[in-house]
Structure 1
Amino acid sequence: MSTYTTDGRSDIRDDFESVRDQQRRRLRGTTGESWAARAVRQVTGIVTADPYPQQLTEAAAGVQGAVTTGRRVAVVGTRGGAGRTTTAALLARVIGSLRTDPVTVIDAAGARGTLALRLAPEQELPTGGEVLDAAGRAPAALADLTGALAPAGRNLWAARSRPGQDLDELVVAVSRFCAVTLVDAPTPDAAGTGQPLAPFAGAHALLHVAPCTVAGLDDARWLAGSGTTTPLLTALVDVQPGAGLDVVAEARQLDHDGVPALPLRFDRHLATGVEFDLSLLARTTRLQATALASALVRTAIGGVPVTTPALGAPDAAPAAPGARPGSDGR
């Protein structure tokens, strides 16, 4: 049985499954590495030791650092299409998977935010007002808070809010119990404030997600020189693979120029634009995402931007074809 809407959107049904759900089911199994890359690794693994597990363990060390008070991280961007939301979701999932204490990610990107699409939480993301009403303006226990948030993965919970409404209050309430709180902030145009570095008060670190393009590199240098007193890292995302700019080399150059930066290569699994599974990422992507998460947590704890030795950690793994964070336009 099929039903159609007048505007042709995905309310079409086929055997009681929407077209949107069919697309998600088909896309979410895409692997970050091609079958050829996986086959080559299996063959070489017969005669050589696999360094990947040790590399991943070393890259993850900083994520597990002790946190005395909840760390608050704003994930910001200056232009759409850079992969900001995907990077926020990816880091939240990585940090949650590596810590034993709770982690929260908040969608503050506006009415068309896609954080829920990337994480596929077990329920609709509650608003900040709903969380604060259910858990109390100052939650007395962790169970009160997690009961009001949407489960979104191992040790990971999610909600949504809007700058200028209840975002600051929500971040304060959540960070009382959560080791790390990440906020997917709007671009300057979406916020309407022209202040991409101040989505909420009290951030311990800022992560600027920039595309590995000439304009993105200019943005990274501009933000680094904007005078912010909050520690700032740049995640340089490979949005145009093969276009002439190498994301690892450009991240290293930024870091050399005094703009702390780490790379995220193109990844086919992330490029599907739907929910992702860490186990399906290309190895290089998993290493780089873990190194970035480690650097971000260390920066938020120490108050000083950290990129090394994490910057070089992913390079030992061969580059694999894959899809970029942010193909969903965020």
Structure 2
Amino acid sequence: MSTHTGVPSDIHGDFESVRDQQRRRLRGTPGESWAARAVRQVTGIVTADPYPQQLTEAAAGVQGAVTTGRRVAVIGTRGGSGRTTTAALLARVIGALRTDPVTVLDAAGARGTLALRLAPDRALPPAREVLDAAGRVPASVADLTGALAPAGRNLWAASASAADGALEDLVVAASRFCAVTLVDAPVLHGDPAATAGSPAGFAGAHALLQVAPCTVAGLDDARWLAGTLAAGPASPPLLTVLVDVQPGAGLDVDAEARQLDHDGVPALPLRHDRHLAAGVEFDLALLARSTRLQATALASALVRTAIAGVPVTTATPGAGTGGGPGPGSAAR
């Protein structure tokens, strides 16, 4: 059985499959090394821990009131940038911090890995199956969530394809009851506006989140896409998240994100994290604390952008190596 279904792989009798053994081993990988955790425990004896307050401050934007459901497309110009992982991470963070429902849709294609990262309670139902069960215009939130796959606190998921026309219908249906709907869109190729008629792959997006790797090519892509969208027809506000996919390769993800922001490409960083890099389902509690802060700040910026209709970036808590407040992007 494919791990992309999101349901447990086959276990025969008392024997666990090799794939399940791999997932069980990898999903327990902590985001921080044992040395970093030990140092924090020692320093915590003599100094106050700023992390809880930093996390609370970073979360404020996620909890903003919405009058209608906000629709966000997570996009990218190349595979391997961490787009699906970022979509899953933000969906989990937003769902954990809000009391209203959040949906995330895998529109990346037949080999999409959103289910692998979220490990929902059942296989991701196709959009048409959800609409058949809940109705094109669901009468209640229970009708909608009952047809979707539970994937975390206040989080439900499904699969969809821009090609069959059901994606837009499901996004509209979800927006009636869900505070935020994130769509893991296919990789953009060529003209971004040519992708199913819009860079989002569906009409009505309130914000675009570009996921770019912190590499020379990724930085070029980030600037190219921002410039292309700015020069074309009106499109939703664009935020960029710069992902540290090659730690130690010579580029500082925090510094490069600040430079992008300074150059007019609103951007925030997301550092490499051993837990996320394991490539299977993840637990927010196992993320490195700096990663959790950056992910929460990014979620706040994204929700605020989708509400305001203009790009919004926020100071990134914990940008310093010691976990304290560090320089980040200025609010826009």
Query: Are residues 82 and 68 of structure 1, via their aligned partners in 2, closer, same or farther at CA, if it must alter by over 3 Å?
Result: same
Q: 1:217 maps to which residue?
A: 219
Structure 1: distance between partners of 2:11 and 2:41? 42
Q: 1:185 maps to which residue?
A: 185
Counterpart residue identity of residue 311, structure 2:
P
**Deviation >2 Å, runs of 4+:** 10-16, 188-196, 316-319
Structure 2 counterpart of 1:236, from 233, 242, 245: 242
Counterpart residue identity of residue 217, structure 1:
L
Structure 2: distance between partners of 1:262 and 1:316? 14
- The answer (yes or no) to whether the contact 1:163–1:191 under 8 Å persists in 2 is no
Q: 1:149 maps to which residue?
A: 148
Matched, 1:36 2:40: no
**How far did residue 188 of structure 1 move?**
2.5
- The answer (yes or no) to whether the contact 2:193–2:199 under 8 Å persists in 1 is no
Structure 1: distance between partners of 2:312 and 2:318? 15
Structure 2 counterpart of 1:203, from 202, 205, 212: 205
Q: 1:325 maps to which residue?
A: none
Structure 1: distance between partners of 2:78 and 2:135? 36
Structure 1 counterpart of 2:277, from 263, 268, 271: 271
The alignment partner of 1:315 has SS state of coil
Query: Are residues 213 and 41 of structure 1, via their aligned partners in 2, closer, same or farther at CA, if it must alter by over 3 Å?
Result: same
**How far did residue 206 of structure 1 move?**
0.2
Q: 1:286 maps to which residue?
A: 292
Q: 2:115 maps to which residue?
A: 116
The alignment partner of 2:317 has SS state of helix
Counterpart residue identity of residue 280, structure 1:
L
Structure 2: distance between partners of 1:194 and 1:70? 25
Query: Are residues 12 and 181 of structure 1, via their aligned partners in 2, closer, same or farther at CA, if it must alter by over 3 Å?
Result: closer
- The answer (yes or no) to whether the contact 2:75–2:188 under 8 Å persists in 1 is no
Counterpart residue identity of residue 158, structure 2:
A
Q: How does 1:64-83 map to 2 (within 5 A)?
A: 64-83=63-82
**How far did residue 313 of structure 1 move?**
2.0
Q: 2:6 maps to which residue?
A: none
Structure 2: distance between partners of 1:49 and 1:180? 35
**How far did residue 192 of structure 1 move?**
11
- Structure 2, unmatched stretches of 5+, are 1-8, 324-332
Query: Are residues 255 and 191 of structure 1, via their aligned partners in 2, closer, same or farther at CA, if it must alter by over 3 Å?
Result: closer
Structure 1: distance between partners of 2:322 and 2:209? 26
TM-score of the two chains, using structure 1 as the length reference: 0.90
- Structure 1, unmatched stretches of 5+, are 1-9, 320-330
Q: 2:174 maps to which residue?
A: 174
- The answer (yes or no) to whether the contact 1:71–1:301 under 8 Å persists in 2 is yes
The alignment partner of 2:274 has SS state of coil
Aligned residues: 309
Query: Are residues 170 and 245 of structure 1, via their aligned partners in 2, closer, same or farther at CA, if it must alter by over 3 Å?
Result: same
The alignment partner of 2:249 has SS state of coil
Q: 2:161 maps to which residue?
A: 162
Query: Are residues 148 and 43 of structure 1, via their aligned partners in 2, closer, same or farther at CA, if it must alter by over 3 Å?
Result: same
**How far did residue 198 of structure 1 move?**
3.0
Q: 1:313 maps to which residue?
A: 317
- The answer (yes or no) to whether the contact 1:109–1:190 under 8 Å persists in 2 is no
Report the identity percentage. 81
- The answer (yes or no) to whether the contact 1:291–1:313 under 8 Å persists in 2 is yes
Q: 2:328 maps to which residue?
A: none
Cα deviation, 1:102-153, whole Å, max 9, x if unaligned, reads 0000000000000000000001100000000000010010000000000000
Q: 1:301 maps to which residue?
A: 307
- The answer (yes or no) to whether the contact 1:152–1:158 under 8 Å persists in 2 is yes
Structure 1: distance between partners of 2:200 and 2:95? 25
**How far did residue 19 of structure 1 move?**
1.0
Structure 2: distance between partners of 1:190 and 1:290? 32
**How far did residue 197 of structure 1 move?**
1.6
**How far did residue 13 of structure 1 move?**
6.2
Q: 2:22 maps to which residue?
A: 23
Query: Are residues 144 and 14 of structure 1, via their aligned partners in 2, closer, same or farther at CA, if it must alter by over 3 Å?
Result: closer
Q: 1:54 maps to which residue?
A: 53
Query: Are residues 123 and 12 of structure 1, via their aligned partners in 2, closer, same or farther at CA, if it must alter by over 3 Å?
Result: closer
The alignment partner of 1:313 has SS state of coil
- The answer (yes or no) to whether the contact 1:291–1:314 under 8 Å persists in 2 is no
Structure 1 counterpart of 2:261, from 243, 255, 260: 255
The alignment partner of 2:219 has SS state of helix
TM-score of the two chains, using structure 2 as the length reference: 0.89
Counterpart residue identity of residue 82, structure 1:
S
Cα deviation, 1:182-226, whole Å, max 9, x if unaligned, reads 000010259998537231100000000000001100111111111
Query: Are residues 234 and 145 of structure 1, via their aligned partners in 2, closer, same or farther at CA, if it must alter by over 3 Å?
Result: same
Q: 2:5 maps to which residue?
A: none
